[in-house]
């Protein structure tokens, strides 16, 4: 069996977008499911837009998601370097080869001349194609222009007839009419290769077996196949993964909320949730299961089950998944994740670790993001300074509210330590002896103790807060009502 070698090849010109993260994930799942290798390659030939910050951000994003690579930056490998900017001599060698073989040619047309050609095509309502002006330059003309110091681009000679067929593992055969392509540029005037050329050289020399990438590159693939052809080297297999669209099927943009991995991290999402969500954006494991472990994803991943149609980005599903993972995650880990901001609030200290963990454990099942834990846990760390308005109208304004709270207060003061199960029993019999339903004592007590009408189970909350705090808060509520 051939060696499976796939790659994720981001251009470090921005953040790690969820589209890129999904491409990385599909490559990773493919490699891991077949015992193959994932190569990370930084495509930084766009010198004006590539930045070191972006490269670092992308690498951090992948690490955070738990997508590891076998060769690439920070790892090395036998087929490096893994940054295109460090591979210029290799590209130059093969550009020269194509020039020497007459398969490519120098083009000296200035941007102004090309603009005139383009405008002419537009006026005649034709698709613009480079007219091939420089294709017929003789070698002595070329030599002369080079000697004058002109800095030409290099174009590939593209056949005017026939079709180029992309055999796509997701889409089947996609045909491109060669007539619609022009002699496209493979090296820019500064000597740097264009994306299409560099990618071919790298995929070949890095022994990539499968190129799994975004659909937006499908139209580049015939160009790349023509380069493979010209260089007489075999192309890898291709799989173009569909676009991710907004719920209204428009292009995904900022207005649809967070779209970069870093933003999700900073908003309190867990990597497992994002991985789980992204895996199902276009891939269907063939059952209705939504929550999947990474092991299950690896075991079940198959390009045959990746959809041709666009995937719809639905943050409510992601948020739901995040809530699930927050509720299920190891509590120590959740604690570590929020430790820093919780310390900044003065909530977590070196002395209250156990208490904090119990609080998180109690409230987390309602948290959809890590930061919602802070809201849900507020009254465990801060005094109650106001009461939910509707709740106060309902439970504090009714006759008998003070009597009810006083009864609970007395009940607590007769017990030294509060245990949830005991409390419940006592409160129920207290209610009975007053001819009330238990809920008639529970609701005002909850409001007094937390300021809220919704909390986790009241008795667990009281146990955790302790008798003293509960009594103090009930007294405070009684004076508020009185
Ligand atoms: N560097 C390209 C990008 O970031 C990816 C190219 C490829 O996968 O072939 O879109």
- For ligand 1, mutation pick of 6, 16, 38, 43 (most atoms within 8 Å of CB): 43
Which alpha helices (DSSP H) does 267-365 contain, by range?
A: 271-279, 294-300, 315-328, 331-344, 353-363
463 touches ligand 1 (CB under 6 Å): no
Q: Cα–Cα distance between 154 and 1 in angstroms, integer? A: 38
End-to-end CA gap in the chain:
82
User: Residue 235's Cα: distance from chain center in Å?
Assistant: 29
Q: Which has the closest alpha carbon to 114: 220, 66, 185? A: 185
Q: Is 142 exposed, middle or buried (0-12, 13-18, 19+ CB in 10 A)?
A: middle
Residues in the chain: 482
In ligand 1, the atom with minimum distance to the C-alpha of 23 is 8
Strand arrangement, sheet containing 153-156? 104-107, 153-156, 185-187
Tell me the whole-structure pTM to 2 decimals.
Answer: 0.92
pLDDT tens figures, 463-474 = 999 999 999 999
Reply yes or no on whether the pLDDT at 1 is more than 70: no
CA distances from 267 to 60, 86, 365, 425 (A): 16, 36, 17, 41
The whole-number average pLDDT for the span 292-302 is 96
- 215 Cα–ligand 1 center, Å: 10
Q: Cα–Cα distance between 37 and 444 in angstroms, integer? A: 61
Q: Cα–Cα distance between 481 and 475 in angstroms, integer? A: 10
In ligand 1, the atom with minimum distance to the C-alpha of 7 is 8
- H or E stretch including 430? helix 420-433
Reply yes or no on whether the pLDDT at 322 is more than 90: yes
User: Residue 91's Cα: distance from chain center in Å?
Assistant: 32
pLDDT at position 42 = 98
Q: Cα–Cα distance between 366 and 248 in angstroms, integer? A: 29
Q: Which two tokens stand for residue 141?
A: 């003309």
The whole-number average pLDDT for the span 214-240 is 97
- The phi and psi torsions of 452 (rounded to 5 degrees) equal -125, 165
Residue % of the chain over a pLDDT of 70: 100
**SS3 (DSSP) at 257:** coil
Owner of token pair 């007590």: 445
What residues are annotated to the active site? Answer: 254
DSSP state of 395: I
- For ligand 1, mutation pick of 213, 222, 224 (most atoms within 8 Å of CB): 213
Reply yes or no on whether the pLDDT at 251 is more than 80: yes
Q: Cα–Cα distance between 115 and 111 in angstroms, integer? A: 6
Reply yes or no on whether the pLDDT at 47 is more than 90: no
217 touches ligand 1 (CB under 6 Å): yes
The DSSP bridge pattern shows strands 5-8 and 237-241 to be unpaired
pLDDT tens figures, 120-163 = 989 999 888 898 999 999 999 999 999 999 999 999 999 999 99
The 8 Å CB, 24+ separation contacts for 140-145 are 142/105, 142/106, 145/106, 145/108
Q: Cα–Cα distance between 195 and 46 in angstroms, integer? A: 8
- 9 Cα–ligand 1 center, Å: 5
The whole-number average pLDDT for the span 308-312 is 93
213 touches ligand 1 (CB under 6 Å): yes
- 217 Cα–ligand 1 center, Å: 7
pLDDT at position 252 = 85
- 300 Cα–ligand 1 center, Å: 26
Which pLDDT band, with edges at 50, 70 and 90, does 231 fall under? very high
pLDDT at position 289 = 84
Reply yes or no on whether the pLDDT at 417 is more than 80: no
């Amino acid at each position: 069996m051939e060696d499976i070698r796939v790659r994720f090849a981001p251009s470090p010109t921005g953040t790690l977008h969820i589209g890129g993260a999904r491409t990385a994930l599909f490559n990773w799942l493919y490699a891991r499911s077949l015992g193959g290798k994932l190569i990370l390659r930084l495509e930084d030939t766009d010198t004006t837009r590539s930045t070191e910050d972006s490269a670092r951000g992308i690498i951090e994003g992948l690490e955070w998601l738990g997508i590891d690579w076998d060769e690439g930056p920070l790892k090395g490998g036998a087929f490096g370097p893994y940054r295109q900017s460090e591979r210029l001599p290799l590209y130059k060698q093969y550009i020269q080869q194509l020039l020497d073989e007459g398969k490519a040619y120098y083009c000296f047309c200035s941007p102004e001349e090309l603009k005139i050609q383009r405008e002419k095509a537009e006026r005649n309502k034709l698709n613009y194609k480079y007219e091939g002006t420089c294709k017929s330059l003789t070698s002595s003309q070329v030599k002369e222009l080079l000697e004058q110091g002109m800095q030409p681009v290099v174009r590939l000679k593209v056949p005017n007839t026939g079709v180029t067929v992309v055999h796509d593992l997701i889409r089947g055969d996609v045909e491109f009419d060669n007539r619609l392509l022009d002699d496209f540029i493979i090296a820019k005037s500064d000597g740097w290769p264009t994306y299409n050329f560099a990618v071919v050289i790298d995929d070949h020399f890095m022994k990539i077996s499968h190129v799994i990438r975004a659909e937006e590159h499908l139209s580049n693939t015939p160009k790349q196949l023509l380069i493979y052809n010209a260089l007489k080297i075999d192309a890898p297999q291709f799989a173009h993964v569909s676009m991710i669209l907004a719920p209204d099927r428009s292009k995904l943009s900022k207005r649809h909320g967070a779209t970069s991995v870093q933003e999700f991290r900073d908003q309190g999402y867990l990597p497992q949730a994002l991985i789980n969500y992204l895996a199902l954006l276009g891939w269907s494991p063939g059952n209705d299961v939504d929550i999947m472990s990474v092991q299950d994803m690896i075991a079940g991943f198959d390009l045959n089950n990746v959809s041709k149609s666009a995937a719809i980005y639905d943050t409510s599903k992601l948020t739901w998944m995040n809530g699930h993972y927050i509720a299920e995650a190891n509590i120590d880990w959740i604690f570590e994740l929020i430790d820093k901001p919780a310390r900044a609030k003065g909530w977590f200290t070196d002395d209250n670790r156990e208490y904090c963990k119990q609080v998180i454990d109690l409230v987390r099942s309602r948290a959809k993001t890590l930061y919602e834990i802070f809201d849900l846990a507020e009254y465990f760390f801060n005094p109650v300074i106001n009461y939910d308005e509707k709740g106060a109208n309902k439970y504090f304004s009714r006759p008998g509210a003070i009597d009810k709270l006083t009864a609970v207060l007395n009940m607590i003061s007769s017990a030294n330590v509060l245990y949830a199960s005991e409390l419940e029993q006592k409160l129920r019999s207290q209610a009975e002896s007053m001819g009330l339903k238990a809920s008639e004592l529970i609701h005002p007590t909850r409001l007094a103790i937390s300021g809220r009408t919704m909390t986790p189970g009241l008795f667990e909350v009281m146990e955790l807060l302790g008798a003293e705090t509960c009594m103090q808060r009930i007294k405070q509520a009684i004076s508020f009502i009185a």
